[in-house]
Amino acid sequence: MSTQVMDNRTREKSRVKIRTIAQIGMLSAIAVVLMLFEIPLPFAPAFYEIDFSEVPVLVGCFAMGPLAGAVIELIKIILNLAINGTMTAGVGEVANFLIGCSLVVPAGLIYRKMKTRKGAIIGMVTGTLFMTLVGCVLNAYILLPAFGAALQMPIEGLVQMGTAVNSNITNLFTFVAFAVAPFNLLKGVLVSAIVFVIYKKISPVLHMNR
């Protein structure tokens, strides 16, 4: 192999790397902006508001792989923390990172093996179900206790906030079952539906010169 060919390959790898970093930065910035637009839900307390910041994260995961998706999710959380601060001493941000990754990483792993419309659907359904499970566990054992501690409010107080909007919520278990689980299911379905509609239209740009 000639020196010129090796130099060309090195320059090509460097160019692709720079482009990947630029795309990760762009998608992270879009995700941070989308985090600012939150929609309250009628079946959950006011501190559960849905946003669509996982849309660019999932797009990045499909275009560049699960690792890139996790990096975009991490940058999004760090930037939001720097802009808006935290009410849970960072515990909520860690939980949100894990919950976000539990959607995009399984979806990205499956799509990497099956780069078809069917693979994308299977990946997003799997990611949505896994995110719902992880979200329930983290909320029950980490996020809700941390949020209660930050507000100096016992878990019973948070449950009462849930009861005020949903009479089926009477304890921590029903809070998770009737507020947390539907919240994550709905978010996963909506994010997946948006990505399903837009991904093929924008993927040529993301894959340009790859």
Residue by residue, pLDDT tens for the chain (210 residues) are 456 555 556 666 667 678 888 899 999 999 999 998 888 888 888 878 899 999 999 999 999 999 999 999 999 999 988 888 877 767 778 888 999 999 999 999 999 999 889 999 999 999 999 999 999 999 888 888 887 887 788 888 889 999 999 899 999 999 999 999 999 999 999 999 999 999 888 877 666 545
Q: What is the C-alpha R_g of the chain?
A: 19
3-class secondary structure for the chain? CCHHHHHHHHHHHHHHHHHHHHHHHHHHHHHHHHHCCCEECCCCCCCCEECCCHHHHHHHHHHHCHHHHHHHHHHHHHHHHHHHCCCCCCHHHHHHHHHHHHHHHHHHHHHHHCCCHHHHHHHHHHHHHHHHHHHHHHHHHHHHHHHHHHCCCCHHHHHHHHHHHCCCCCCHHHHHHHHHHHHHHHHHHHHHHHHHHHHHHHHHHHCCCC
pLDDT at 200: 83
Strand partners, 49: 40
pLDDT at 206: 67
Q: Contact at 8 Å (CB) between 175 and 144?
A: yes
pLDDT at 19: 84
Note the pTM of the prediction, 2 decimals: 0.86
pLDDT at 75: 95
Q: Torsion angle of alpha carbons 147, 69, 129, 93, nearest 10°? A: 0
